[in-house]
Amino acid sequence: MPRYNTQFELDVDDIDLIETALRDRKKYLSLQRLTMISGDGSTADPEGLAAIDAAIGATHDLLGRLHNQKVFYRPTQARSAPYISG
């Protein structure tokens, strides 16, 4: 039985491209959702709206998981002191 690959060889540019594509997908889905809602807030297809909402939520969740895996730079000499950005 085949197994999933657990080791990936992606560099920073690859991750940036993936994040950009996910943001574009989220924007497209959000615009699609807006066109489905009429001026009074009702929609003709509530199941389609729910499917778009689920896709937006899954995309947002994936973007969050990618963000949480990043390691942000912090100077080594300042690790003992409180960190103040800027």
76 within domain boundaries: no
- Supply the pLDDT for residue 50: 93
CA-angle at 60, arms to 53 and 43, nearest 5°: 15
81 is a domain residue: no
In whole numbers, what is the pLDDT of the chain averaged over residues? 86
Residue-wise pLDDT tens digits, 5-45? 888 898 889 999 999 999 999 999 999 998 888 767 677 78
- Note the pLDDT of residue 40: 73
CB neighbour burial string for 2-34, b if at least 16 within 10 angstroms, e if fewer: eeeeeeeeeeeeeeeeeeeeeeebbeebeeebe
User: Containing domain of residue 56, as a range?
Assistant: 10-37+44-65
Domain count within the chain: 1
Quote the pLDDT of residue 56: 97
The confidence score (pLDDT) of residue 79 equals 63
